[in-house]
Structure 1
Amino acid sequence: MPMAEQEQKIIPGVVAALGIVFGDIGTSPLYTLQTVLNDTGATDRETLLGSFSLLVWTMMIVVALKYATLVMRADNHGEGGILALLSLVGPNFGKRWFSRTTLLAGAGLFGAALLYGDGAITPAISVLSAVEGIGVVTQALHPYILPIAAAILFGIFAIQPLGTAHIGKIFGPVMLLWFVSMGLIGVFSLAHEPGVLIGLNPWFGLRFLFEHAGNSLIILGAVFLSVTGAEALYADMSHVGRRSVRLALAVVVLPMLILNYAGQTAFLVSHHGLKGNPFFATMPHPLILPMVILATLATVIASQAIITGAFTLTRQAMQLGWFPGLNIRQTSDSEYGQIYVSVINWLLMAVTLAIALTFKSSGKLSGAYGTAVSTTMLITSVLMFDVLTAQWKWPLWKALPVMLFFGVIDLVFSSANLLKIADGGYVPLFIGFLIYIVMTTWRRGSTLLHAGLTPLEADPHKTIGNLQEGKILRTPGAAVFLSRYQSVFPPIVTRYMSDFRSLPTQVVVLNVQFDPIPRLTKDQRMKITDVEENIWQISARFGFVEIPNLSDVLREAKEKGCDVDLDKVLFFTGDDDIVANPKNPEMSTLRRLLFGFLYRNAVHASDRFTLPRERLVEIGHQVEV
């Protein structure tokens, strides 16, 4: 491929990566250095240089080395994120409580659940920190900061049902303008005090920590805010590609962030004792209002990325069997990642607004931020060690030093953030814990439900014999039985034969399953088995990021010999009634009640698989759990 053609593809990819991947980390200069200095309690030159050094090297180690260099290599057929990483390790949660895969899967699942807590806090702190800039313009607007931020947050969630495919095209250019503006403003301040660049030497950061030994963990908890968007590099890399993410990081993101932090440091060195947010203080007064507007746009984009990530995570968890069925709507015909999950959207909005209205400022909210992300990063390191040794077959002498290096750093940052629990760090942990309980309860209840229905499966040899001998009548019509089971005559078919004492002339037993890989090729999609005359079994497989279309599956099956009349076919699904069995030691009473609530409110097969409701018949059965 000619170099010019390569560049044409690389440049749009880099710009797109800025809008999709780097919104969160790109808005961290709005509040990070201010939080570090508040926790340090001093603004002398040595403190400022030490803080600047820590910020730079935290970004270099966590973002550039750990995520961009190592973790992004652990993709699952191009897909990233902690659930994709978990699928590489093996999602064998609950088979043996103290097995390696169970412990790793449990940790990975908790890390995924924590991302919902991050998704609620990120929009709140980002928008608040941006809107607080108007208080620098004039104190008269200070009382309006919280109402304006709340209105913006409400608007972000309110537009989600419309989709963002069209306005999403401007995300990249806006974020490019944001990064360049931050860098240029940093250069402007740096020109008056270039000596602060000596802080690029890591020794200043280490000496700073030694001199503040008793307070070092608290300081590191604030420093960690500079990398809270790092997990997005891994989670969103499938949207633009690994190369585009790395180039955007190396060419735009890291240089502009370092220049801006250097500019804030330089300004504070030459304006000793300055109070307030140094990000807006570094700017010439006429630029403050335009930068407040641009910062608000950048935080909206960062919030949009977090919300979209929550939707994507929900779909992945649902199709991997960790979440009940929810109504997912595609909001774009061309953009696969443009989906909308109503329940998640409005719950996130309620929690985000409650957080913003409770904490009221980005400074107070910084205590709640980082706890979930740092824990997720630590869990990622644990899972990566398993990938290095079990998947990539690295020898222990090679894998152990690498993961000890990153693991110790993650452990230090995680411990530092745990000190902020009383100041609000409990919020994302509590949200993550609730989601974790929901996910594990759904998985366990689904397993027990499956076990309760398994005895109803019919013996295929006996059933085929009865059909051939005419003991089971064949009535006119065509039926598609949707089943979670691999058997030829699953429980739903058995119940039909028991209730109607017959089978339709044409029968399709359609089993849908989701594999722990993102996408399948057309050749892997479907397997058709001729069971008996005019009886077919179809096994349809989908990747965990794919949207299943059963109409397409049936049309393709018809082309391959499954000669069922699709215009007149009736679809049969199970609508089982959960009955509590207090004597069952496999599930506690509270979790049984939770599973029953989730099961009753999960979407029906007709909604999840886009089936015509006028031709759908649900067959019920009582199952003890």
Structure 2
Amino acid sequence: MDSKRAMPSLTIGAIGVVFGDIGTSPLYALREIFNGHHPIPVTPGNILGILSLVLWAIMVLVTLKYVLILMRADNRGEGGSLALLSLVVTHARSARLAWVVSMLGIFAAALFFGDSMITPAISVLSAVEGIGIVAPGLEAWVVPVTVLILTVLFAIQRRGTGVVGLFFGPVMVVWFAVLGALGMVEIVRYPEILAALSPLHAVAFVVDHPALAFLALGAVVLAVTGGEALYTDMGHFGPAPIRLGWFGFVLPALVVNYFGQGALLLHEPAAIESPFYHLGPSWAMIPLLVLATLATVIASQAVISGAFSVARQAVQMGLLPRMLIVHTSGHEQGQIYVPFTNWTLYLAVVALVVGFQNSSNLAAAYGIAVTGTMLIDTVLLGFVMVLIWRWRPLLAGLCAGTLLLVDLAFFSANAIKIPQGGWFPIAMALVSFTVLTTWRQGRRLVQQEIAAQGLPLNVFIDMVGEVHRVQGTAVFMTSTKDGVPAALLHNLKHNQVLHERVALVTVETADTPHVSELDRIYLHRIRNGFMRVIVRYGFMEDPDIPSALKHCSRFGESFEMMETTFFVSRETVIPRLSRRLFSDWRARLFAFMSKNATSATDFFRIPNNRVVELGTQLVI
């Protein structure tokens, strides 16, 4: 009963957060198809063919692929490329397959960062361009107003989205209702546009104009941007509310609006200047402009929040260095603020707005990141079908292969736009991919170096039998489950004492989004007061060592913070030039990231007055 009562609120919440990106596509999708960098002639046959392509692209790529199939491939309720990566790697049968899947998943995450830079820029800019329709003399203010709105949006991120989020759902419900109403008026006036419901018009357009159809695909993809968000945001709401919101409200509103724009173009080809705004009556232009701006801000907010979540996942999975993550709500775990990610995105978004000047130019850069992500998701889905769902290889090949062909068609059509702006998301994705893989490989080399310098714990305990022991508990944070931490060796060397109890604590990240409290702690008593503690977290959780140590009470061990001293090793990484496994510039990049990473004290929420930091140098 409770779940049924919660369903309406969850569905409205999903409409406010999940569908913002795809919900604002009607602002520019058809305009770019017929009036963009590769304009399609505005003829009745082309309009019907394009509308049919848009409809069936939405049905295949969003409805079939993401809503009906991929949302079944959840990692304990969580979706997204990194969650899918963890899911597949867990079931990979060989190290080579695990490596291939890892690289694909990491590159998909890198593409998401590129996409999250373009979405706020093109969404807000396309809405504010309505100023040129309302008052043509004010067109010069479009870029400054867009930059101002984006500046305010990014500036308020540190305050959290909880209060603003209360308005997301209702505003987007109004937005989709207005989309449907505007489109329905035109469809009633010109019902012949409904002929485009038949896929035969799409087939005829492709057969009769193959070159035009190929170019059109590069802009048709704008109608499905944000489809991957349905899968990425699944963990916040669950699949049922997202599916209910999509089939019951969002999909009909989008289709009706696109068909309404098509009906308008059939009889007023000149409206191609901005078919969305021309759908509305003249008296509603300003309210429509305000509503569209609100909707695009909400769409941008959803992408920014998604970037925060992906950044946190990347940190937990060892793909990024420790960074400051601020929780903006004491009740909602998913409401976080990552300052570095926020301001990096802001600088990139403002640079895009100022550099590209209008949404039409930005549209050329938009599709390549989205289609690249969709392509990788399909490949990973194929692995899920075979490894996890145990489908027969022939069936999995037919299903994933068909989706892959569709994705390849859209990706190829967008690849020709690389010189026109598509290079930007690719460049950003390559930079992100390099950073992610450099940190991953660098941490692996650091672990090898620590292991090489390490001393077996049993040997160490035998060696220190006569060392003076002092009262209290010492907790040594160590990244490995074997050997003696460098901080312990340094402390013994300089202070010549050991505490009565010595706990070697290692934090592990599981392949699941969350870890149950029963599985949080593993404690193994060794001898002579030594114990090893393993603390496990999911990739959607934030470590809190003092809180986790309270769970040791079920093992008969307690940790009083005022009697416990935490020893943390601060590693200084020195790049070893001409190392075969790590190029010189990547070694320097890793050393720079390591130097600027958030301290382990802050990241693990250890009380500052109970910490002793000991430095150690590692050459990689």
TM-score, reference length from structure 2: 0.97
Which residue of structure 1 aligns with residue 61 of structure 2?
A: 62
Specify the alignment match of 2:237 in structure 1.
240
Partners of 1:205 and 1:119 in 2: how far apart? Answer: 31
Give the alignment of 1:435-584 within 5 angstroms. 435-467=432-464, 470-487=465-482, 489-558=484-553, 560-584=555-579
Match in the other structure for 1:8: 5
Inter-partner Cα distance in structure 2 for 1:101 and 1:212: 42
Shift of 1:228: 0.7
Q: Which residue of 1 aligns with 2:83?
A: 84
Matched, 1:355 2:325: no
Q: Distance in 2 between matches of 1:580 and 1:435?
A: 21
1:10 Cα deviation (Å)?
Answer: 1.8
Q: Residue 123 of structure 1 corresponds to which residue in structure 2?
A: 120
Any conservation in 1 of the 2:66–2:230 contact (CA below 8 Å)? yes
Aligned to 1:228: 225
CA distance in 1, matches of 2:403, 2:434: 29
Q: Deviations over 1:241-285 (max 9, x none)?
A: 100001111011110000000110111111133341100011101
| 3-state SS of paired residue (2:437) | helix
User: In the superposition, relative to structure 1, how do residues 274 and 463 fare at CA in structure 2: closer, same or farther (>3 Å)?
Assistant: closer
- Displacement of 1:585 in angstroms is 1.2
Shift of residue 583, structure 1, vs aligned partner: 4.2
Q: Which amino acid aligns with 1:40?
A: P
2:595 corresponds in structure 1 to 600
1:565, distance to aligned residue in structure 2 (A): 3.6
Structure 1 Cα separation of the partners of residues 604 and 284 of structure 2: 52
The one-character-per-residue Cα deviations of 1:12-33 (angstroms, maximum 9, x if unpaired) are: 1211110110000000000000
Counterpart CA distance in 2 for 1:282 and 1:219 is: 22
**For 1:547-575, what per-residue CA distance to the aligned partner results, in whole angstroms no more than 9, with x for missing partners?**
11111112222463224442132211111
Partner of 1:367, secondary structure, is helix
What is the 5 A alignment of 1:365-384?
365-384=362-381
Kindly provide the amino acid, as one letter, of the partner of residue 606 in structure 1.
Answer: T
Show structure 2 runs of 5+ residues with no match.
Answer: none
Per the alignment, in what secondary structure is the counterpart of residue 526 of structure 2?
strand
Contact 2:147–2:353 (CA<8 Å) still a contact in 1? yes
Partner SS state of residue 336, structure 1: coil
Q: Which of 314, 337, 341 is 1:344 aligned to?
A: 341
The answer (yes or no) to whether the contact 1:50–1:199 under 8 Å persists in 2 is yes
Matched, 1:151 2:144: no
**SS in structure 2 at match of 1:617:** strand
The more displaced of 487-496 and 603-612 is 487-496
- Structure-2 separation of matches of 1:141 and 1:7: 49
Native 8 Å contact 2:110 2:430 kept in 1: yes
After superposition, residues 274-353 of structure 1 pair within 5 angstroms as: 274-353=271-350
Q: Paired residue for 1:390?
A: 387
1:409 equivalent to 2:396? Answer no
Deviation at 1:87? 0.4
Show structure 1 runs of 4+ deviating over 6 A: none
Task: Give 2:266's match in structure 1, choosing from 264, 269, 275.
Answer: 269
Q: Which amino acid aligns with 1:522?
A: E
Return the letter of the residue paired with 2:345: L
CA 1:331–1:110 in 2, change beyond 3 Å: closer, same or farther?
A: same
Say what the alpha-carbon RMSD is for the aligned residues.
1.6
**2:531 match: secondary structure:** strand
CA distance in 2, matches of 1:613, 1:595: 26
8 Å contact 1:536–1:562 — kept in the other structure? no
CA distance in 2, matches of 1:449, 1:89: 26
User: Amino acid of the residue matched to residue 367 of structure 1?
Assistant: A
Matched, 1:206 2:200: no
Q: 1:92 to 1:9 in 2, by over 3 A?
A: closer
SS in 2 for 1:366: helix
Give the count of matched residue pairs.
617
Give percent identity, aligned residues only: 38
| Residue 463 to residue 227, structure 1, CA distance change in 2 (3 Å) | same
